[in-house]
Chains A and B, each alone.
Chain A
Amino acid sequence: MLGIINGEVYDPRNGINGEVRDIWIEDGKIVSASAASPPELGGTEGGRDAAEIIDATGLVVMPGGVDIHSHIVGAKVNAGRKFRPEDHRDHVRSRTSLGPPFRGEVRGATRSGSGYTVPSTYMTGYLYAEMGYTTVMEAATAPLVARHTHEELEDTPILDKGVFITMGNNHFIMNCIRNGQREKARDYVAWLLEATKGYAIKIVNPGGVENWKWGRNVSELDDEVIGFGVTPRQIVTTLAWINDELGLPHVPHIHAINLGQSGNARTTVEMIEALEGRRAHFCHLQFLSYGGKPGKRLRSGAAEVARAVNEHPNITIDVGQIIFGPATTMTSDGPLQYRLHQLTGNKWLNDDVEGETGGGVVPMQYKRNNPFNAVQWLTGMELFLLIDDPWRVFLTTDHPNAGPFFYYPQVIKLLMDRDYRAEMLAGIHHRARKGALLAELDREYSLYEIAIITRAGTARALGLQNKGHLGVGADADVTIYAKLDDKEEMFARPRYVLKDGEVVVRDGRLVHERPGRTLYVTPPYDAGIEADLRTHFEECYTISFDNYPVAAEYLPHCEVVPCA
């Protein structure tokens, strides 16, 4: 048994806001969380006398961080690593022998790695853990290459992880929609999630990625997908219906149309409205909340989009906050990546995936004195401050699209400290600053709200019952911070991080490596769909139906998350 005693606990899911509590852990689970009771520490209660004690007096205790949207593994990320040696050269991590054994563990070693915006897998696991995060969702995998994603996940230690499966340009689904066969599409989605060991439905630029295979895109909700006669609106609403029907723990995770373009706030709001009350998550919404006229100067449209989010309780979002400095853009949005290549002149990777999706990668540099980037930065800040309910707005940088994940502590400081925010605002391009709404927003996030937007809220939106809180039965993923005035420093180097009840980080450094689990869903479906699928595979794919599903052997560490 392990006890974390006398800590100042922030556990929003259980309504605990900075009260002093003792938390007891056994077999990787929280077994008791109660008001501090010093007398018991004398050793009268069974087991507790033999317990390991972490004295958290004066420290802040939160559940481990839960990232709802990050690109850490798989074909696109690895292509990004491979073609960016310039990203890695100055950002390396040496292999180490770990310190003295903790609780009898055999002395082990950590792996070396490299990479800044696109770190190698082991390094990614270590860096997230050292920042106090214990669960991370990989935001997009093409089904055809899911096997690759799972191989990388197994090489990403410590973290629990899930994979979102791209479905917004899938031929089988679009054919079902055209033929009015919603139920067949539903069974297919269930089969596909099981076959790819996926966690959620991901929709990226619905229809636009298919049209890119013809050198085109979509720009309105009712544009036609070439060769299928369906529309982005139909794709999104059908998948939202399927998500509800299957009772998936998460909701459809949507990257909407017109990402990065002036005036896209309008189509973003239209897509929110098109859902007609069905639950959905809109990701990296900063990139989709711009005003101004299409093709003209970029302005923030955060007010318009935040209003729509506030009015639609069925919607959650993550921000995708811009971090000034290097980034690597990588999405399944093929036409967007080509556009970024043309805008920046930077090298461009594209990968069209047969019958399913596409994608690309382009390096990026966000600059304070670039008016376009400055607008992107303040748009993100405004979304954070204008969306009222912290349970529906989450902290991400759409890593590594808007910046590396290890800048989350800087974003936390920006949200908690309005003087720091004003200082940053003063340093961005004057044209972006002029008339910016951000200057008038003096809201400051509390520690309680930060705990919501970084773990409690994300875990709830993901449907992870055992994560993001410290109640009895929760996974014992716990982060303990020193209480510092400088919130960036506070959140960058936790004093302790526990994963499944084991201390993995002390004073911001990894002390113990262990594997994490891959979380996936197995919704039920009518097995009769298999005959149709065999035909579809023969017509559509260059690999056989039998070689497509990812077998259980690829997930030696895993957990099935139940559907409703």
Chain B
Amino acid sequence: MKIENVVCPFCGCLCDDIVVEVEDSRITAVKNACASGRSLFLNAHTQAVQPKVNGEEVDWPQAIDAAARILNDAASPLIYGLSSTASEAQRKAIALADLLGATIDSTSSVCHGPTTIGIQNQGEPTCTLGEVKHRADLLIFWGCNPAEAHQRHFSRYSALAKGKLTPNGRKDRTVVVVDVRPTASSRRADIFLQVRPGCDFEVLAALRALLKGQHLDVDEVGGVGVVQLQDLVERMKSCRFGVIFFGMGVTQTGGKHLNVAELLALVAELNAYTRFTTMPMRGHGNVAGADSTLTWQTGYPFAVNFARGYPQYNPGEFTAVDVLARGEADAALIIASDPVAHFPRQAAQRLSQIPTIVLDPEINLTAQVARVMLPTAIYGVSAAGTAYRMDNVPLPLKKVVESPRPTDEQVLDWMIERVKTCLA
């Protein structure tokens, strides 16, 4: 059976033109996807797996019971992950956090959390990817490397895409890459500006000054010649529709959210000359959805704590890494994420010291230290749901193969019911 228009849940591009062939409930071929997407579909586990408690296989009611007890007994539980699950499951996870008085945080806090803080300071002139495809004649990629991290971004939405006002695709656009080292993306750019590591803020500030017509008494800023910066400013002012895509090279270096705020201010100011927009290159398939669902249910996009009965927001205090590293969290529920593999050592170690519950299709490093392992179906492969693209366009994830495993949403629902009866 051939299934068309499948949405690939791998990265924030959410390409929705994937063709998947299924025979005897097995995926046999994947067309149009990038290497990462293809491997996600072809390597998807769909066989039945029993949940485990303390390394022993148990049935689902026993596993849910163990998980609910851990969460109920904890004084300060943490729920973390969310970015690779569907919004339906995210909504349930937030409901559970509210019920428990827990802390809840998504992987945003270790990638584009500073972007959110920058936006909260400065606002965000943005657009959907179709506007980039059809209008943008100046594309700037700053601190990101789509040629490797978002492999179909160039062809579907940006550099190579043929749109209404850009019928010749790449020929109708100027592509600029700004980064601290040459990358696969910079090799495909018209202009590459190599910034000295940690100097993004200075370069952005210099661009704002030049835009305002100020004279700079130096020859270079952050490793980039003022002549080159002046040239970029002229291109930005005179383009028809410009966009800056930015990644972790901006959000996770030096000034973090200050870099982002400076970038957003520059983009806003450019609108006095022409139309200019910007967009963070979101990594995980539904990390934008995690921001959205948390925001509509609590008012805040990450780093939310319910201990006082209502949502409080404080990055640095209620972010998962900090709650763990300070030893505050005394139980953890990790959903569709592998913090043991990615967190700083102190935070990762805490997860093996406290009772940890993992909800994931994979036996990842976190699952190996977890007290309770709940193996679930894979959204977009063996479970249907909703994911939000990096421009916040929501797309329907398909169930292309059957799986005997429950979905994250189903398991969280069971947990909520069990926690309620424990409370009562």
Contacts and interface: CB of A to CB of B under 8 A. Distances in A.
Interface in A170-194: none
A148 B298 contact: no
Query: Which of A81, A145, A546 has most chain B Cβ within 10 Å?
Result: A81
Interface string A213-247: 11100000000000000000000000000000000
Nearest to B117: A85
A341 B265 CA distance: 12
A331 interface: no
Contacts of A543: 16, 393, 395
A352 interface: yes
Contacts of B156: 542
A116 to B, nearest CB: 10
Contacts of A215: 271, 274-275
Interface residues of A, number: 63
A73 interface: yes
B129 A542 contact: yes
Interface string A350-378: 11111100100110000000000000000
A212 B276 CA distance: 11
Contacts of B253: none
B420 to A, nearest CB: 8
B128 A542 contact: yes
A347 B16 CA distance: 33
B18 to A, nearest CB: 10
Nearest to A553: B384
Interface stretch (B39-47, B189-197, B222-230, B305-313): B305-313
Q: Is the interface of A mostly helix, strand, loop or mixed?
A: mixed
A85 B299 contact: yes
Nearest to A119: B299
Contacts of B16: 543-544, 547
Contact of A73 (B87, B130, B291, B296): B296
Interface in B351-399: 386, 388, 392-396
A355 B164 CA distance: 11
Interface in B89-138: 91, 95, 98-99, 116, 119-131, 133-135
A564 B311 CA distance: 45
Contacts of B395: 147, 543, 547
Given A95-B99, A114-B311, A213-B275, A145 B392 contact: yes
B28 interface: no
Interface string B409-424: 0000000000010001
Interface stretch (A86-94, A272-280, A294-302): A86-94
Given A111-B297, A121-B297, A147 B396 contact: yes
Contacts of B277: 350, 352
Interface in A127-162: 144-145, 147-148, 151-152, 155
Given A83-B120, A544-B17, A546-B5, A155 B392 contact: no
Interface residues on B, range: 35 or more
Given A94-B309, A115-B299, A542-B156, A551 B5 contact: no
A122 interface: yes
Interface string A87-118: 11100111100000000000101011111001
A540 interface: yes
Contacts of B275: 212-215
A543 B396 CA distance: 11
Nearest to A77: B296
A324 interface: no
B292 interface: yes
B34 interface: no
A521 to B, nearest CB: 21
A96 to B, nearest CB: 8
A113 B311 contact: yes
Contacts of B296: 73, 78, 81, 120-121, 151-152, 155
A212 to B, nearest CB: 8
Nearest to A347: B123
B411 to A, nearest CB: 19
